[in-house]
Amino acid sequence: MKSHHRRALVLGIMLLALASALLVLGAGIGSTGFESVFAARHDPVALQIVWDIRLPRTLGAWLAGALLGLAGAVAQGLFRNPLADPYLLGSSSGASLGMAIALMMFGVSPLSTQWVVRLGLTGAAFIGAVLAVLLTLALARGVQQTLRLLLAGVIVGVVLGAAKDLITIASADILQAIQGFMLGSTGLVGWSACAVMGGLGAICLLLGWALAPLLDGLALGEATASSLGLPLGAMRIALVAALALATGAAVAQTGLIAFVGLAAPHLVRSVVKTTHARLIVLSSAMGGLLLMAADLLARWLIAPQELPVGVLTAVLGGGYLLWLMHRRSARGGL
């Protein structure tokens, strides 16, 4: 047991060290290259590029990835399914629909325009994600039946996604903005967004850590979790709240980022076997590192142009999962 704790600690330190190195590297990746970093002491423009654009974007990518990694670990433990991801309860479709509605209301009337500007597109996406999860809970009649909750999430995702498509067809001028949101991007993340994601991430992390015993109990079966005297209903609601809050905060700032929340817990479990409390923390660090690395690649591969980071994470994450399935099949597993 001590060896597992030691390996978890070493992995956590390594993930944070790599993230720190990539944060420094991210300050130098851009259309003007590392020259901006060296010129930042004497050139106000270079200082603004590094401090106000590159650093918050790189840190924001880590924070968004950490939120998705945390949500992925919670979702996989809650549903006892290694293929569960943060978008399972319809939050991605809700966020997309909220974004589409906000964009459609722009220019319709002065009143609606002022309302949208005050709320902000990120706020609309966040509210859409949270309302989608609440709708899923209403359709599932609570969180007592995991399978019912899972099916309700799938239904809500399909219906809200169709509603978003109808709005996009009716307002073709918003198609490009919606497409950018669906592909995912960290290009507009600033210090204020980092503060929001950091604050909400700390709350979700503390909540996930406190509720980790329920996930440990559920891993042994529903009956075992009940026999431990855990208040399953209340703790499940709290876990769903943490899942929705983390996912909504990340999606609202960066759009839909694929596979990070799904792959991060798998990568952690492939290195160390540990309790859900440590798994949640390590998955957060792993998710942050994955999205930060993907963002740097997206900015560097075809510089000075950029790739959508969501496309890059989908390709890399899908390749990893295919390799994982192939390896387990070779061993007689999946």
pLDDT above 80: residue 2: no
8 vs 119 pLDDT, higher one:
8
Q: Which band of pLDDT confidence, cut at 50, 70 and 90, is reported for residue 270?
A: confident
CA angle 297, 298, 302 (to 5 degrees): 95
Residue 39's CB: how many other CB atoms inside 10 A?
16
pLDDT above 70: residue 31: no
Q: What is the pLDDT of residue 4?
A: 73
Q: What is the pLDDT of residue 36?
A: 53
Give mean pLDDT, residues 303-311.
83
Q: What is the pLDDT of residue 161?
A: 92
Q: What is the pLDDT of residue 202?
A: 95
Q: What is the extent of the structural domain holding 248?
A: 2-330
Q: What is the pLDDT of residues 196-252, one digit of tens each?
A: 999 999 999 999 999 888 888 877 777 776 776 777 778 888 888 899 999 999 998
DSSP codes, 63-106: HHHHHHHHHHHHHHHHTT-TT--TTTTSHHHHHHHHHHHHHHHT
**CA gap 164, 179 in Å, rounded:** 11
What is the C-alpha radius of gyration for the chain, rounded to an integer number of angstroms?
Answer: 20
Overall number of domains in the chain:
1
Q: What is the pLDDT of residues 79-136, one digit of tens each?
A: 888 888 899 889 989 999 998 888 887 644 444 444 444 457 788 888 899 899 999 9
**pLDDT, mean over the chain:** 83
The percent of residues above 70 in pLDDT, for the chain, comes to 87
Evaluate the CA torsion angle 286, 268, 4, 201 in order and state its sign. positive
pTM: 0.88
**CA gap 24, 93 in Å, rounded:** 34
Query: What CATH number corresponds to the domain at position 116?
Result: 1.10.3470.10
Q: Which band of pLDDT confidence, cut at 50, 70 and 90, is reported for residue 32?
A: low
Whether omega before 82 lies within 30 degrees of 0, making that bond cis, reads: no
Q: What is the pLDDT of residue 22?
A: 93
Range name among 2-6, 43-47, 139-143, 310-314 with the lowest pLDDT average:
43-47
Q: What is the pLDDT of residues 272-303, one digit of tens each?
A: 888 899 999 999 999 999 999 999 998 888 77
Name all contacts of 111-119 with Cβ < 8 Å and 24+ positions apart: none
Q: Are 157 and 90 in contact, with CB atoms under 8 Å apart?
A: yes
Q: What is the pLDDT of residue 113?
A: 46
CA angle 28, 290, 327 (to 5 degrees): 140
Q: What is the pLDDT of residue 85?
A: 87
148: CB partners within 8 A, 6+ apart? 140, 141
**CA gap 222, 81 in Å, rounded:** 14
Q: What is the pLDDT of residue 157?
A: 92
Q: Are 255 and 129 in contact, with CB atoms under 8 Å apart?
A: no
Of the CA atoms within 13 Å of residue 6, those in its CB half-sphere come to 3
Range name among 57-61, 166-170, 239-243, 301-305 with the lowest pLDDT average:
301-305
78: CB partners within 8 A, 6+ apart? 84, 146, 215, 218, 236, 239, 240, 243
Using DSSP, how many helices (H) and how many strands (E) does the chain show? 15, 0
Q: Are 95 and 310 in contact, with CB atoms under 8 Å apart?
A: no
